Amino acid sequence: MSDIPLFKVTIDNISIEVPAGTTVLNAARMIGGEVAPPAMCYYSKLEGSGGKCRTCLVEVSKGSEKDPRPMPKLVASCRTTVMDGMEVKNITSAKVVDARASIVEFLLLNHPLDCPICDQAGECHLQDLSYEHGKEGTRYEFQRRTFKKHDLGKYIQLHMTRCILCYRCVFTADQLTKKRAHGILDRGDHSEIATFIEKNLDSDFIGNVIDVCPVGALTDKTFRFKNRVWFLKPMDAHRDCPTCSGKVTLWNRGDEVFRVTARKDQWGEVEDWICNDCRFEKKKTSDWVIEGPRLIDRHSVIAQGHYAGTVGMHKPTETFSAVHHGRQPKLLMDIHSVSEVNQADIDLSIIAGPAHSNNFNSNKD
Amino acid sequence: MEALTTRAKEVSRKPMSFAESLYIPNILKGMFITFGHMFKKQPTIRYPEQKREFSPVFRGLHVLNRDEQGRERCTACGLCAVACPAEAITMEAAERLEGEENLYREEKYAARYEINMLRCIFCGLCEEACPKDAIYLSETFAPANYSRKGFIYSKEDLVIPNPLTDPEGYAKAKGAPRAINN
């Protein structure tokens, strides 16, 4: 390591020394906080990713110590390596903020605004980005692109209309699985994620494409429409898995495991890849050793359930009988005897795919 | 001690005079006031027969709306439930099957949708949160009931009648178009 020279780079007036060859984006992430540009396609754990979405554009106001001329155009920070003495403006540059807002609008051109249906809503990077830049509406008046529906098997649901062509899932399949079965077909406006010959995605680590997808294009079919992420209780859990690290986040409602995902760090990137078995097959609390509630950024809608701390681990203690000398409260109505929601005999979490009308109506008569 | 109010009247404990102890003039005075009210404009109405016009911002019982083709608009996105300060709304979503396109507008719909009217405070935040124009607070009250069980409103109670098959019921549930008064 010692033979790699350290370069001093200044991002938004904050200086940091980073090894040569570091990208501007990674240097900004080392500083952390708001200085780090958002990234929709770059993924630090995937080799070759980045350079496609243009959301990480920054202004280089001074090229380097030796050649202090500014770069003529905004550059993609995930693909630009630092130079010694480089000065970068991210949120301090009005040009960058303006360009980023326009890029969000371009990304949303063909993106259907169907967040109410989409399972990614609440943890979607594109949703966050558009709200951050005030571009949650649309000015686009024309027909959005549509695609023939492809079935990717029983685990992964593809919504091609939502795809922003970040290529992350392609890199994931290349780098994590033995054989990539899907890819981007056609080009330009017609390019789409597909398997060409209808083929199931079933390699062992292919489930990770769900986690790397920044939008709701690839979602978990075993979780499809089951619940909204902000009603679930995220908890760190692990199990002895022969193929992967087994460190996951469980998304519970009560004791039902609705979804299993990898743990994500502050940049929304997976910490440890997990295998399909952990992700799709282990939907019982007894399969897992629960470590505790996962810390969720308090600005996230997922934090609205207030499960942080020890609250999520224990049921609240009933104080009534304690203060009334053992007398039990008189129950005026048991909500479960009336309510049709969350019935004991319909366990949504263990239905293989999304629930349908027959799941709900079969026991009615 | 400082007086709490300047309008307090001192209580008079003087014994009544003979004329006062007869009461009759004062009774007549009171009767006359009562009689006078018979000729004044009534501030009350005969409620079940007559009904007052609701304020344009009145928030009554919820309805789940349908679109022009009679399909349910709700997609069970959960925004009403998360907006609800009383946590009165619960739902379960399902995927639309083939052949159900005439029933539900989007591929996801609310298979179960319940509002606990015992909890609901009629704040209207669900209406505000709804991105699909699916939930509305109508101009009707939640009717009284003898048991608590009757206040758990399920989809059968909430979904508006189909405008194609039951246009009258639809119009009734929708309410008369409000005259925007200036």
CATH class of B62-174: alpha beta
CB B75 within 8 A of CB B108: yes
3-state secondary structure A261-312: EECECCCCCECCCCCHHHHHHCCCHHHCEEEEECCCCCCCHHHHHCCCCCCC
Pairing mode of beta strands A86-89, A6-11: parallel
A231-258 burial: b if 16+ Cβ within 10 Å, else e: bbbbbbbbbeeeebbbbbbbbbbeebbb
- Between chains, do B90 and A339 touch, taking CB under 8 Å as contact? yes
Read off the pLDDT of residues A181-192 as tens digits, 9 standing for 90 and up: 888 988 888 888
Cβ atoms within 10 Å of A297's Cβ, excluding its own: 8
3-state DSSP call for residue A79?
Answer: coil
A12-48 burial: b if 16+ Cβ within 10 Å, else e: beeebebeeebbbbbbbbebeeebbbbbbbbbbbbee
* Residues in CB range of A192: below 8 A, 6 or more apart: A147, A160, A163, A184, A185, A186
Nearest chain A alpha carbon to B108: A117
The chain A residues in contact with chain B (CB within 8 A) are: 114-117, 121, 224-228, 230-231, 301, 304, 332-333, 335, 337-342, 348, 353-360
CA of B162 to nearest chain A CA: how many angstroms apart?
19
Mean pLDDT score of chain B, rounded to an integer? Answer: 88
More confident residue, B7 or A312: B7
Rounded Cα distance between A5 and A18, Å, is 8
pLDDT for the residue A83: 93
pLDDT band at A165; cut points 50, 70, 90: very high
CB of B172 within 8 Å of any CB in chain A?
no
CB contacts < 8 A (A, B): 80
Structure tokens at A350: 């263990």
- Between chains, do A225 and B90 touch, taking CB under 8 Å as contact? no
Nearest to A274 by CA among A195, A209, A199, A202: A209
Host H or E run for residue A219: strand A218-220
Q: How many helices (H) and strands (E) does chain B have?
A: 6, 5
Cβ atoms within 10 Å of A263's Cβ, excluding its own: 19
**0.90 surpassed by pTM:** no
* Residues in CB range of B35: below 8 A, 6 or more apart: none
Tell me how far CA of residue B132 lies from CA of A203, B16, B153, in angstroms: 38, 73, 20
Residues of A in contact with B108 (CB under 8 A): 117, 225
pLDDT at B179 over 50: no
In sequence order, what are the beta bridge partners of B50? none
Residue type, A125: H
B window 30-69, beta carbon within 8 A of A:
none
Rounded Cα distance between B112 and A339, Å, is 10
Read off the pLDDT of residues B30-83 as tens digits, 9 standing for 90 and up: 999 999 999 999 888 888 888 888 888 889 899 999 998 999 999 999 999 999
pLDDT band at A340; cut points 50, 70, 90: confident
Decide if the complex's ipTM is over 0.95.
no
CB B123 within 8 A of CB B135: no
Q: What is the mean pLDDT of residues A135-157?
A: 87
In sequence order, what are the beta bridge partners of A289? A238
pLDDT band at A305; cut points 50, 70, 90: confident
pLDDT band at A31; cut points 50, 70, 90: very high
Cβ atoms within 10 Å of A126's Cβ, excluding its own: 24
More confident residue, B142 or A25: A25
Q: How many CA atoms lie within 13 A of A75 on its CB side?
A: 21
CA of B89 to nearest chain A CA: how many angstroms apart?
10
pLDDT for the residue A310: 52
Rounded Cα distance between A43 and A53, Å, is 12
CB of B112 within 8 Å of any CB in chain A?
yes
- Between chains, do A228 and B95 touch, taking CB under 8 Å as contact? no
- Between chains, do A356 and B94 touch, taking CB under 8 Å as contact? yes
Read off the pLDDT of residues B122-167 as tens digits, 9 standing for 90 and up: 999 999 999 999 999 988 877 888 988 889 999 998 999 998 888 8
pLDDT at A308 over 60: no
Q: What is the mean pLDDT of residues A80-108?
A: 93
Nearest chain A alpha carbon to B109: A117
pLDDT at A70 over 80: yes
- Between chains, do B97 and A356 touch, taking CB under 8 Å as contact? yes
Residues of B in contact with A116 (CB under 8 A): 75, 77, 79, 106, 131-132
Nearest CB partner across the interface for A224, out of B91, B95, B106: B95
CB of B77 within 8 Å of any CB in chain A?
yes
Tell me how far CA of residue A130 lies from CA of A39, A111, A273, B15, in angstroms: 13, 12, 28, 82
Nearest chain A alpha carbon to B81: A231
- Between chains, do A228 and B131 touch, taking CB under 8 Å as contact? no
Residues of A in contact with B131 (CB under 8 A): 115-116
Q: How many CA atoms lie within 13 A of A38 on its CB side?
A: 23
CA of B42 to nearest chain A CA: how many angstroms apart?
42
Structure tokens at A365: 């008569």
Residue spans per domain, chain B? 62-174
- Between chains, do B79 and A116 touch, taking CB under 8 Å as contact? yes
CB A221 within 8 A of CB A156: yes
CA of B136 to nearest chain A CA: how many angstroms apart?
17
In sequence order, what are the beta bridge partners of A247? A238
- Between chains, do B106 and A117 touch, taking CB under 8 Å as contact? yes
Read off the pLDDT of residues A253-268 as tens digits, 9 standing for 90 and up: 878 899 999 999 989 8
Q: Could you tell me where the DSSP H helices lie in A92-167?
A: 94-107, 125-132
Nearest CB partner across the interface for B149, out of A333, A341, A358: A333
